[in-house]
Chains A and B, each alone.
Chain A
Amino acid sequence: MTSSTPESYLAEWNQRLLDFEESRHVSLLRRAMRNLVRNRLLLTGTILALLVVGAGLLGPIIIGGDYELINFSNTHATPFTEDALLGTDHLGRDTAIRLFVAIRVSLAVAVGVTGLALVVGLALGTVAGYRGGWSDRSLSGVMDFIWGFPLILVAVLFAGGLGEGLLSVILAVGLVNMAAIARVVRGEVLSLSEREFIEAARAGGLSNGRIIRKHLLPNILAPALVLASYYIAVAIIAEAALSFIGLGAQPPLPSLGQMVAEGRNFLQLNHWETTIPGLTLVLMVLSVSLIGDGLRDVFDPRLRHEAKGVEAT
């Protein structure tokens, strides 16, 4: 130790603490990257997600066309017929183009919902868990109240207030998912707040904001991201479900749920109109779920140790 004054002594310890935290994160990241490659769930999920996202983003550019364009002389075509890669629907619209646009819609909703839920959920959960007292009680009460409502009911309420459409879906699903994330984050923060490194940071005189930014957030981000990956799947399913019942994407803008709903009346005539968007929905949710499971394996030390134990035996 070279410091001579108490202030410089404290500053040096703070710096060493920060360096330690930083090195810990670097090693965590490196380890995570290594696991990304080794983890089969994660790899499979990522490949599937890349395929679906790639189709959504590049599909319309590659094959071109108008998802609204109707053709009464070529309705209910099966895949690979009449110049229609994936067939046509009851109005003669190209299923492939509509599918790719629907994937975009699902992704946009998923990103919108999860972004909203993650940012607000993290903020509220952290404040509630870290500050405690009346902040915790009031925020937790609100979160529990929101979490207690069925998602569909919230969506119906939003649709009633704002009208049917994607905005209502994003706000409704985002609100419920936000409450879920906030509750988990609050629990994590409560646990972390009692840990030594936080105590040390407090003792070191760091401000609450700095402790949250520098010490709490990095530690809760990983579990929050794992949780968010799960809620991406929830958002995709919720959007499809709400569009299926007419509360989500409004025609002619396609969405997977709406395509399934429109196609179900023609199951015996041309099941592809339902099967194709249905399978796409399954693939999207499966890929996100696999990624979530993979991330959990990577970030959760208990599962890592269990895995090691299994390998050892």
Chain B
Amino acid sequence: MTENSPEIQGILDEYQQKKLSRRQFLKKAGAAGIGATVAAGLLASCGGDEEPAATTAAPATTAAPATTAAPTTTEAMPAGPTKGGTLREGYNRDVSKHDPITTNWYDPAFFAIYEAIVTIDPDGNFVPQYCTDFGVSDDGLEYWFAVEDRQSHSGGTITAADVAEFYRIQKFSFIAGLAAPIGSYRSEGNRVIAEMNNPWVGTYGPLATGYWRIANINTWKDVGQYDDETGLAGEGVVASTYGTEVVDATGPFQHTEWVPGSHSLVTRWDDYPGSNVPYFENKGPAHLDAIRWSVITEAGQRATQLENGDIDTLINPAHQDLARLESNPDLTVYRHPEWSGYFMFMNQENFPELFGDLDTRKGLSHAVEREGMVQALLFGNGAATYGPFPTPDRYYEPAVEELNNYDVDEANRLLDGAGWEMGSDGVRTRNGTRLEFEFMVENESLQVAIGNAAAAQFSVVGAQANVNVVDRAVWFERAGSDQVPAGLFMWLWPISADIIPLFCNSAVIPSPNWSHAREERIDQAIADWQAAGTQEAAQKAQSDLQLAWAELLPNISFINQNATFVKNNRVHGWAPFVWLLYPYYNDTWIES
């Protein structure tokens, strides 16, 4: 190793002591007049990590995710970004329609095609993406976003008025209730204004998700023959090819192919003017020629395809394959808590004889060994959940951990007390009703395993849950039909505080409050959250909600898995972190 100048040596020392990230190192090195190639060489000589541990660390204002793991594989630093190549990414779900307004889910492609008005940085802070600046009025009743006129993929122009109109139409979406405190949107010059019904600390959260990513509303209306009278129910909108054949937005990649069950493909938009996101290094068009997401729903196949070189990056390999992937020097594994959870709904209204009383629900909850499920089913790659939120959530209430612990004796005591008598066949009865019910589970290997595990544990305390494995579409159709007593559901959403109320709010019976829970405490906590103008009020509302869920058990929470991403070390600038469901692709490039 040659001798370095004191300034460079200082930067190197800081980097080796993990005080600097790779990006920070490169920036400082650049400021010190060192070329990228030399800097990269220096990094390589001191064993540069692709991404530092800080990438997946929680912001200082929240509890650090307990299971956050730094990328596990070190790699030599290449010379610098090279242009070209197609990133082949494995995706564990089927591809969804690329239309933020009418889609039933948003995929990683939304992070390539679209831009949100704001997004989140690795520290968990909201930063501009589509807008150049944003803020809130002193009374908290107006959120403003400065936007410049932007060219879209089709060559059309998107003005502030178009963005406001997009948001106005978006309010017809089934998901819009998550931002209910936002009353309306309007534009003023080059500003988009969100007018609030009340001050709300949660305003930016939904706006940063896939459903609020900005499409060229003019194209959207043209393709969908939209008219205001019928809203999203209009024939033109229902039959629209927007999101399947036509997509018009402002992200660095353009929609190219969308084949459900197989793949979706996006290609670089060469006229992309660059991003406003401060932490993106690449300020111009993307490095990659294209990105292809392959649908790999077969859990065991995902890791194999990555190892075989059929794909370059992978979202959510099977948990059982993680140890093997982590031991592979050609791969880098990212793990962090996922904003998701598995819970069991119990229809209290249509099956009151089974789930109408709290002690029965509590008895079932105490029969579940959540920690064991985490170890056996997730191979430790997750956490037990005793309340509705995953543990790293900024509003997580740890007091829920005192409730619903695994205790078979307590479970039996509660069920005995509720009047359920153990029958000779091992199934309890009460007033002639057997404690036996259909337990509907979606046909996906992990969900079936969780369903089976829960059912087997219920049987120990005299409850017979008959697992019924059905397709996803059938699951949703039947869960909303009032005919299913119980079912397993997995939710996934980057902001727990927004999504959890959907499953327990009496205003959304029968779906997605499939339990038909009508709990005043819960409804009040939800109302308090949507009226929370300060962080203190938000924290109180969220704590109330979590405790009410854990105590009143509208649903029984089971476990929460970690989000896991893996990449081949030839791929650079692809760095998923805890606050977003997917990585961005602006900085991604493939070593030739």
Contacts and interface: CB of A to CB of B under 8 A. Distances in A.
Given A70-B456, A91-B376, A246-B443, A266 B320 contact: yes
A267 interface: yes
A93 B455 CA distance: 13
A264 to B, nearest CB: 6
B320 A251 contact: no
B467 A252 contact: yes
Contact of B369 (A72, A265, A267, A269): A72
A21 interface: no
Interface in B274-316: 299-300
A182 B459 CA distance: 45
B456 A91 contact: yes
Interface in A80-107: 90-93
A30 B369 CA distance: 62
A90 B377 CA distance: 7
B201 interface: no
B468 A70 contact: no
A251 B467 contact: yes
Contact of A91 (B324, B453, B459): B453
A265 B376 contact: no
A262 B445 contact: yes
A73 B451 CA distance: 18
B64 interface: no
Nearest to B303: A268
A72 B372 CA distance: 6
Contact of B376 (A72, A163, A250, A262): A72
Interface string A247-264: 000111000000000101
Interface string B439-451: 0000101001101
A268 B321 CA distance: 8
A70 B459 CA distance: 11
B422 interface: no
A69 interface: yes
A68 B469 contact: no
B207 interface: no
B318 A265 contact: yes
Given A92-B376, A266-B320, A68 B468 contact: no
A164 interface: yes
| Residue in A90, A164, A250, A251 whose Cβ sees the most chain B Cβ within 10 Å | A251
B377 to A, nearest CB: 7
A272 to B, nearest CB: 14
B456 A252 contact: yes
B333 to A, nearest CB: 16
Interface string A155-173: 0000000011000000000
Contacts of B320: 90, 265-266, 268-269
B564 to A, nearest CB: 15
B469 A91 contact: no
A18 B316 CA distance: 73
A219 interface: no
A89 to B, nearest CB: 9
A70 B457 contact: yes
Interface residues of A, number: 23
B452 interface: yes
B466 interface: yes
A264 B443 CA distance: 15
A90 B449 contact: yes
Contacts of A92: 376
Given A72-B375, A250-B466, A252-B455, A91 B449 contact: yes
B466 A68 contact: no
B571 interface: no
B318 A251 contact: no
Nearest to B445: A265
A267 B299 CA distance: 11
Given A91-B376, A266-B300, A70 B467 contact: no
B452 A252 contact: yes
Given A72-B375, A92-B376, A251-B448, A268 B324 contact: yes
Given A70-B457, A268-B324, A75 B452 contact: no
A163 B443 CA distance: 14
B373 interface: yes
Nearest to A269: B320
B456 A264 contact: no
| Residue in B300, B369, B377 whose Cβ sees the most chain A Cβ within 10 Å | B300
A92 B320 CA distance: 15
Interface string B379-403: 0000000000000000000000000
Nearest to B299: A265
A69 B453 CA distance: 9
B20 interface: no
Contacts of A265: 299-300, 318, 320, 445
B314 to A, nearest CB: 15
Contacts of A90: 320, 376-377, 449
B470 interface: yes
Interface string B452-465: 11011101000000
B146 to A, nearest CB: 49
B443 A69 contact: no
Given A68-B459, A90-B377, A91-B452, A73 B372 contact: yes
A163 B471 CA distance: 11
Contact of B451 (A68, A251, A262): A251
Given A266-B300, A266-B320, A268-B324, A75 B376 contact: yes
| Residue in B321, B324, B443, B453 whose Cβ sees the most chain A Cβ within 10 Å | B453
A262 B318 CA distance: 13
Contacts of A252: 452, 455-456, 467
Given A68-B459, A90-B449, A251-B452, A163 B468 contact: yes
A156 B310 CA distance: 32
Contacts of A69: 456
B384 to A, nearest CB: 12
Contacts of A251: 448, 451-452, 455, 467, 469
B255 to A, nearest CB: 32
A191 to B, nearest CB: 47
A69 B459 CA distance: 9
Contacts of B321: 268
Nearest to A263: B300
A163 B467 CA distance: 12
A92 B377 CA distance: 10
Contacts of A268: 300, 320-321, 324
A258 to B, nearest CB: 9
Nearest to B470: A164
A233 B318 CA distance: 34
Interface string B133-156: 000000000000000000000000
Contacts of A68: 455-456, 459
Nearest to B454: A70
A75 B375 CA distance: 10
Contacts of A70: 452-453, 456-457
| Residue in B321, B449, B452, B455 whose Cβ sees the most chain A Cβ within 10 Å | B452
A149 to B, nearest CB: 21
A267 B302 CA distance: 13
Given A70-B457, A250-B466, A264 B300 contact: yes
A257 to B, nearest CB: 13
Interface string A95-136: 000000000000000000000000000000000000000000
A251 B453 CA distance: 10
A270 B188 CA distance: 63
| Residue in A250, A265, A268, A269 whose Cβ sees the most chain B Cβ within 10 Å | A265
B538 to A, nearest CB: 37
Please name the 7 residue pairs, one residue from A and one from B, whose CB atoms are nearest each other, closest first: A72-B372, A72-B376, A265-B300, A70-B456, A251-B467, A75-B376, A246-B443
9 contacts: A68-B456, A73-B372, A91-B449, A246-B443, A246-B469, A250-B467, A251-B455, A252-B452, A267-B300
Given A246-B448, A250-B469, A252-B456, 8 more contacts: A68-B455, A68-B459, A70-B457, A72-B375, A72-B376, A164-B469, A164-B470, A251-B452
